C-alpha cells in the first residue's frame, strides 16, 4: 500500500515539474532569440549587460505569472507583476529598437491571465497592433510586417497557453480528487449496503432462534437443540458473509435465501406461502432478487407483527418478478422506518434496468414488488436441490 501511495504521489508531482520545465525552456528560447539580436547590434558591455538583466527580469516575472495563474487569492499581486512587465516590455525599445521588439510578447500573453477576458484580449490585440506599428518604423515591406504579426501572435498565444497550463493542471487535479472522493463514497456505500444485507437479516434470525430455543429448552430439549444448531449455522454463515464483504465480493444465492427465509419465518410462527418458479438467473439479477427476499424478511421480523406472508418469484421469457406481501405492517408512525432501507435496493434495481415498488395496502398489509429484465443468454431450467430442507417449487395453483 505504501509503495502504491508513493507511486501515486510521484506521478502527481511529475506533471507540475514537467510543465514548469517546458515553460521555462520556451521562455528562455524567446529571450535568447531577442538577446542574439541585441548582440548583433554591437552595443557596449554595460548596455549588453542591462539587456541581459532586463530579459532575465522579464523571464522571472513571467515564471511568477505561471505560478500565480488561476490563483484568485493572489490576483492583486499578479496584476502588479503585469504592470512591471509592461514597463520592462516597452521602456527599453527606444534604445534597443528591434532587439527589444519581441519582449512585449510576455506582457501580451500575461494580460488575458490576470485581467477580465474582454480587457485581457483587448490588451493582447492592442499590443499586437503596437508591435506591427513599431516594425513599420523600420520597414514598409508588407511581407515582413505580416510575418512579424503572425510570429508575435503565435508566440503571444504560446506564452498565454503555457502560463494557463497551470490553471488546467489545477483543475484536472481538483477533478481527480473529486472523482477519487466519489469513488471512496461509492465504495463506502457499497460496503455499508452489503454489510446491512449480510448482518441485518442474520442477526434477526439469530435472535429469533435463540429466543425460541430458550423457550423450548425446559419442555422440548431436542427441538431446542435443533434451534441452537441453526443459530450456530447462521452465525458461521454470517461470519463467512462478512469476510466476503471485506474482500470485495458478495453474490447472494437465491436458493439459499429462500431456504433460510422459509426456516426463519416458520420458526417465527408466520404462515409462509412460497412460490418459486425461476431458472438459472444471471448472477447480478439473482443477487438483487435474493437481496429483496432477505430485506423483505428482515423488515417483517423487525418492524411488523405479521402472521402470514406470501412470496412469489416468477420468471418469464424476458423478465423476473418478485413480490412479497405480508400482514401486520406498522401504521403511519412506522412507515418511514419500515421502508428506510429500501432506497438502496431500488437503486440496485434501476442499475439493472428494473424497478422496485413498496406500498402499504389496506388491512395493515405491505407489498414489496421487484421487476428485473433478464440477460439475453440464460442457462437451462433451474432444478431445486433434493433433501429435507430444499425449497419447494409449487405451481401456480399452490398460491392462493
Query: How is the chain split into domains, by residue range?
Result: 2-181, 269-400
Which pLDDT value is given to residue 371?
A: 92
The distance of Cα 124 from the centroid of its chain, to the nearest Å, equals 39
pLDDT value, residue 25: 81
CATH says 269-400 is which class?
alpha beta
**pLDDT at residue 67, as a whole number:** 78
pTM of whole model > 0.85?
no
Residue ranges in the chain modelled with pLDDT below 70: 1-19, 187, 190-191, 193-202, 204, 236-251, 331-341, 343, 375-400
Report the pLDDT value the prediction gives residue 381, as an integer from 0 to 100. 40
* pLDDT the model gives residue 19: 67
Return the pLDDT at 5. 46
pLDDT at position 390 is 32
Q: What's the confidence (pLDDT) of residue 341?
A: 61
Q: What is the pLDDT of residue 250?
A: 56
pLDDT of residue 33: 82
User: Looking at residue 384, what is its pLDDT?
Assistant: 36
Find out whether 51 and 92 touch, Cβ atoms under 8 Å: yes
Note the pLDDT of residue 222: 77
**Rounded Cα distance, 267 and 233, in Å:** 15
Amino acid at each position: 500500500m505504501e509503495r502504491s501511495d508513493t507511486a501515486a504521489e510521484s506521478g502527481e508531482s511529475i506533471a507540475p515539474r514537467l510543465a514548469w520545465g517546458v515553460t521555462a525552456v520556451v521562455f528562455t528560447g524567446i529571450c535568447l532569440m531577442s538577446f542574439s539580436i541585441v548582440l548583433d547590434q554591437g552595443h557596449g558591455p554595460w548596455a549588453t549587460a542591462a539587456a541581459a538583466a532586463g530579459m532575465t527580469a522579464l523571464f522571472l516575472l513571467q515564471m511568477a505569472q505561471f505560478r500565480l495563474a488561476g490563483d484568485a487569492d493572489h490576483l492583486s499581486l499578479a496584476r502588479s507583476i503585469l504592470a512591471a512587465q509592461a514597463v520592462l516590455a516597452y521602456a527599453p525599445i527606444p534604445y534597443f529598437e528591434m532587439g527589444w521588439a519581441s519582449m512585449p510578447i510576455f506582457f501580451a500573453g500575461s494580460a488575458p491571465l490576470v485581467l477580465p477576458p474582454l480587457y485581457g484580449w483587448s490588451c493582447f490585440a492592442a499590443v499586437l497592433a503596437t508591435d506591427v506599428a513599431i516594425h513599420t518604423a523600420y520597414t514598409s515591406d508588407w511581407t515582413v510586417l505580416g510575418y512579424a504579426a503572425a510570429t508575435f501572435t503565435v508566440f503571444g498565444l504560446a506564452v498565454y497557453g503555457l502560463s494557463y497550463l497551470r490553471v488546467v493542471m489545477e483543475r484536472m487535479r481538483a477533478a481527480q480528487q473529486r472523482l477519487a472522493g466519489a469513488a471512496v463514497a461509492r465504495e463506502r456505500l457499497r460496503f455499508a449496503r452489503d454489510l446491512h444485507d449480510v448482518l441485518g437479516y442474520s442477526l434477526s434470525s439469530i435472535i429469533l432462534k435463540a429466543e425460541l430455543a430458550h423457550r423450548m429448552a425446559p419442555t422440548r430439549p431436542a427441538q431446542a437443540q435443533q434451534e441452537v444448531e441453526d443459530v450456530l449455522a447462521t452465525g458461521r454463515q454470517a461470519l463467512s458473509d462478512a469476510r466476503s464483504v471485506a474482500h470485495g465480493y458478495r453474490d447472494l444465492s437465491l436458493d439459499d435465501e429462500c431456504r433460510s427465509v422459509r426456516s426463519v419465518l416458520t420458526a417465527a410462527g408466520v404462515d409462509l406461502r412460497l412460490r418459486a418458479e425461476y431458472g438459472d438467473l444471471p448472477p447480478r439479477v439473482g443477487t438483487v432478487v435474493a437481496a429483496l427476499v432477505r430485506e423483505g424478511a428482515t423488515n417483517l421480523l423487525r418492524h411488523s407483527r405479521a402472521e402470514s406472508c406470501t412470496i412469489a418469484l416468477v420468471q418469464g421469457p424476458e423478465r423476473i418478478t418478485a413480490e412479497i406481501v405480508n400482514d401486520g405492517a406498522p401504521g403511519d408512525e412506522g412507515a418511514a422506518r419500515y421502508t428506510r432501507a429500501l432506497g438502496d435496493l431500488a437503486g440496485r434495481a434501476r442499475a439493472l434496468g428494473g424497478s422496485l415498488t413498496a406500498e402499504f395496502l389496506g388491512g395493515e398489509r405491505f407489498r414489496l414488488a421487484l421487476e428485473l429484465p433478464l440477460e439475453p443468454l440464460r442457462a437451462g431450467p433451474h432444478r431445486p436441490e433434493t433433501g429435507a430442507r430444499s425449497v419447494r417449487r409449487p405451481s401456480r395453483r399452490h398460491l392462493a
